[in-house]
Amino acid sequence: MPEGKALLYARVSTQLQVNDGVSLDVQERQLNSAAEVAGYTDLELVREEGRSGKNISGRPALTETLRRLDKGEAHALFVTRIDRLARSTKDFLNIIDRANANGWRLVMLDLNLDTATYQGRFVVTIMSALAEMERGIIAERQKDVHKDRRSRGIKWGLDMGPKNKTPEDIRQRVVAERAAGASYRKIADGLNRDSISSQNGGAWYPTTVKNLLAVIQKELEHLLDSESQA
């Protein structure tokens, strides 16, 4: 039986998540069950409401939870899903590093990953590396698109239609999730859950996601055409 306190972190950012079946109460039941099966008897639920998963700095409850774990005031952190913990690759890698450096346990139920096991540590390390590499590749391709467009004198609104104002990190996220097999609906729901507005300031819909991907695809096709003509 493991010793020490296990912290159970549950987060929702909007009412949409409650409707989607990831309410705080649902997460609490899942976390309690998993921690008890793992052998923990000293459990403490940490709730974070109305907070987006975009970055850690905007989530005081998680910030304090990680501080307590690093200081040895608790010994394990349980979360239901990886997106409850972090959506930024940088934040996720930072949390993994802190867990390894300070010797506390991280358990993610959706991925069946547990850093207390060798297999869990191995999979998390590989997954983090692949995610970071994928984001890097997407970012570099987008930089090439913009550079090529400027060199050819192509202007948004004239040569390639109205400019899509979606931030680069959101574009990368949409591409990565679609490449991983997520449906347009699932991607849109995730963006809405994290309180991320579309380029026109409204909600995301499957068609919004599809249209953004079409714009990105058009940019990449333009880049490939220009490379073949060089």
Burial of 202 (0-12, 13-18, 19+ CB in 10 A): exposed
User: Where does residue 33 fall: left (phi above 0), alpha (psi -120 to 50 degrees), or beta otherwise?
Assistant: alpha
Quote the tokens at residue 224. Answer: 């490939």
Q: Is 13 noted as a catalytic residue in this protein?
A: yes
The C-alpha angle 89, 14, 198, rounded to 5 degrees, equals 65
- Find the catalytic residue in 13, 33, 52, 88: 13
Quote the tokens at residue 143. Answer: 């930089």
Strands 5-12 and 42-49: what pairing?
parallel
* CA nearest to 8, candidates 47, 37, 57: 47
* Active-site residue list: 13
